[in-house]
Amino acid sequence: PYSLARKHDGIDSNYDRHDFVVTDVPTPGKPNVISFPVASDQDGGDTQSYVLSGEVVINEVFPNPAGDDSQNEFVEIKNIGKAGIDLNGWKIGDATKKRFVLRNVHLDAGEIISFPRSETGLALNNSGEEKVQLFSPNDILVDVIEYSGSIGEDVSFSRDDTDMSFVWSTTVTPGKKNEISREALDPVVVVDYPPVVSVGDVAYFDGSDSYDPDGSVVSTTWIFSGEQIDQATASWVFWEAGEYEVDFSVVDNEGNTAVQKITLNVLPVEHVFVGGYVAYAGVDDVIISEIFPNPEGSDDAEFVELFNPTSQLIDLSGLSLDDGEGGSRAYSFSDGTVLLPQSYLVFDREVTKIVLNNTFDSVRLLYPDGVVAVELLYDDVVEGASYVFSQTGEYCWSVVITPGAENICEASVSIDHNSTKKIKGNQLVSALSLAEVPFADIGDVVQVRGIVTVLPGVFSTQYFYITDPEFGGVQVYMYKKDFPDMSVGDFVEVTGEIRESQGERRIKIDDHSNIVLVGQGHDLAAQMVDIENITEEYEGWFLKISGEVTELQRSYMYIDDGTDEIKVYFKKGAAIPADHVVLGDIVDVVGILGQIKQGYQLLPRAVGDIVKTGSIEPFVSQSASSDGSVDADIAEKYLTATAGGLTSILFGLFLRARGVALLGLLRKTKTMVSLFFRRG
């Protein structure tokens, strides 16, 4: 019979694999006896119980000495029992199957012996995971220790006799009693901050993942332009361009401090609009010249190619590539990435990690703040063909794949871009209202009428929107961009094929002949809706919402009407000025409801689609110019406010909100009051 017994009575290291061992001498109610069955001869014909008259443990390991590891590494064992023991045939091993067999070794009670690497041949890891194991003659595990991570030089992993635990000690004692000298370790700083900051943007800084390897973090501090914020997370607004130094410090329970200095280059904003961008010279001229979304066989061969058609170098540093909002994580170009004049750059999927859809998708070149600089949409994907920009200025699918070289369109595969006309000749075209489009099948050929609400070039050069105040709206897409002259308010008839892109229905047409002008000068009326009621049925509609600006970035803002909130995204073609709205403004917004992978967003067409109707007075905000100044008048005003004064402010704000629900107002007020007390 066998039992599982604690090796050292009364000692618990909280590591069961270390504390317990199998014995063939059960001792219920008595001190444990650790016994191993071993062969009595080399042939293994007879066995006998070999009782440990002493207890042997791994006592110290030295994996990373200064200098030559092969000469100075060692493993040390100790007899902590009360009697001597013969260790002939015992084995020491590491995490591999390599074993060092002990010969003619006897350990008296309390005796310690170390075995250098030059004798054992065991090379201990200095990083990663490692284990040191002690086996009985018949390969029963007697003791084991494990360590991981990056091991500093000249520290040993030593057993502390007071509690049998292992610690890293700066005092190395081969063959002697362990002396535990713990060197207090500094905390480790881990921070997250924006790679690019523009003037006027709210920048968020997060040091909450910082930790102390041998204790605990007791305080964290951010310092912006001389102002100190004693917390792990912080936000800041830089009002002037230039180079700034931001400090983040972490203090542990032993008083050790670690500091990380962050140098930020705050970029000036040129050609600014709320969905704005930093004007990088020539970026708008970049052509997404070839994409390979569906290679034959493995899709790992996918790539995206960019082309610089100008005579000037174009710097892509800080910009990024992605495959549409909600798609793969954007790939950021490293500093120094440039497109030479009349040259190509190819970015393989293996590098970018961008996975292109095999049915339809888009490829976008983004400014650092997320604004789209260049976008290419594609569908009708052909396996083994790339989507290339031809010398005629049009895109085609081509079986000649030319990464990094001039595109060849003459060998294009045959793709029926005239499918709409062919089907019209053989099948009945369904005349639908815009309200019926969401219920039509993909591939159906339909004829719809609507008012031109968004012109080509505002949201994309490849599509526009038609709407009806009562029946909804839909996107009209043409890959060739061969649109006729149109104006907002034109009443048109569109004939095309029902398709879907990124979850949004669209009508795909072949050329301008699929658009017929029926009338002109029609008035547009946006459908007023509460945000909580926005669902798929409103996709493509021309909608109106009213609410408070609760978050504002250069490419989008969030509006809260008290029932819910929605993202309002600013397309580059909308050209909305940066100072048009501020946090706390109450606004009316009209725009097209678009679907993205995370839900829905409203797309205003121009500055006139956002109308300020009121505002909520801000409390002290955490912002500063490069000298760290804060408006003292505002601070004094709100630091002296009484509870009664706050109540009056709430009431006044409610009256000024012009119909915004109280729930949203209270949510904003909670944020402001929290900021008020923290800053006070």
Q: What is the dihedral of CA 329, 238, 187, 131, to 10 degrees?
A: 10
| E strand map for 154-230 | 156-160, 165-169, 197-198, 202-206, 217-224, 227-229
Chain mean pLDDT for the chain = 79
Please tell me the predicted confidence (pLDDT) of residue 268: 73
Least confident window among 36-40, 322-326, 348-352, 391-395: 36-40
Distances (CA, A) of 77 to 114, 161, 176, 273: 6, 13, 10, 71
Please tell me the predicted confidence (pLDDT) of residue 505: 86
Q: Which residues of 246-280 are buried (b: 16+ CB within 10 A; e: fewer)?
A: bebbbbbeeeeebebeeebebbebeebbbbbbbeb
CATH 2.60.40.1260: which residues of the chain? 11-20+38-169, 283-398
- For residue 181, pLDDT beyond 70: yes
- For residue 40, pLDDT beyond 60: no
Q: Please give the helix or strand (H or E) that residue 615 lies within, else none.
A: strand 610-615
Please tell me the predicted confidence (pLDDT) of residue 589: 95
Structure tokens at 396: 């085609």
- Tell me: domain 11-20+38-169, CATH 2.60.40.1260, correct? yes
pLDDT category of residue 138 using cuts at 50, 70 and 90: confident
**510-546 pLDDT per residue, tens:** 889 999 998 888 888 899 999 999 988 898 999 999 9
Please tell me the predicted confidence (pLDDT) of residue 281: 60
Please tell me the predicted confidence (pLDDT) of residue 576: 84
Give the 3-state secondary structure of residue 120: helix
CATH 2.40.50.140: which residues of the chain? 527-680
Please tell me the predicted confidence (pLDDT) of residue 452: 95
Q: What is the mean pLDDT of residues 620-644?
A: 41
Maximum mean pLDDT: which of 139-143, 330-334, 380-384? 330-334
Please tell me the predicted confidence (pLDDT) of residue 36: 58
Distances (CA, A) of 201 to 15, 369, 593: 51, 9, 26
CATH 2.40.50.200: which residues of the chain? 419-519
Structure tokens at 527: 């459908």
- Could you tell me the end-to-end alpha-carbon distance of the chain, in angstroms, rounded to an integer? 72
Q: What is the mean pLDDT of residues 644-663?
A: 40
Least confident window among 398-402, 452-456, 635-639: 635-639
Tokens 């002939």 belong to: 88
Q: In terms of pTM, does the model score above 0.75?
A: no
Instruction: Name the CATH code of domain 197-267 (choices 3.40.50.970, 2.60.120.10, 3.30.70.120, 2.60.40.10).
Output: 2.60.40.10
Q: What is the mean pLDDT of residues 264-286?
A: 61
Q: Which fold has domain 419-519?
A: OB fold (Dihydrolipoamide Acetyltransferase, E2P) (2.40.50)
Between 469 and 40, residue with greater pLDDT: 469
Q: Partners of 291 in the beta sheet?
A: 304, 387
Measured from the Cβ of residue 86, the count of other Cβ atoms closer than 10 Å reads 15
Least confident window among 211-225, 390-404, 661-675: 661-675
Q: What percent of the chain is predicted at pLDDT more than 90?
A: 31
Q: What percent of the chain is predicted at pLDDT more than 70?
A: 80
- For residue 82, pLDDT beyond 50: yes
Least Cα distance to 481 among 602, 377, 382 occurs for: 377
pLDDT category of residue 164 using cuts at 50, 70 and 90: confident
pLDDT category of residue 631 using cuts at 50, 70 and 90: very low
Least confident window among 137-151, 192-206, 371-385, 550-564: 192-206
Instruction: Name the CATH code of domain 527-680 (choices 3.40.630.30, 2.40.10.10, 3.90.226.10, 2.40.50.140).
Output: 2.40.50.140
Between 625 and 91, residue with greater pLDDT: 91
The phi, psi pair for 18, rounded to 5°, reads -85, -35
- Tell me: domain 283-398, CATH 2.60.40.1260, correct? yes
The phi, psi pair for 71, rounded to 5°, reads -95, -30
Q: What is the mean pLDDT of residues 158-173?
A: 86
Q: Please give the helix or strand (H or E) that residue 259 lies within, else none.
A: strand 257-267
Please tell me the predicted confidence (pLDDT) of residue 543: 94
Measured from the Cβ of residue 563, the count of other Cβ atoms closer than 10 Å reads 16
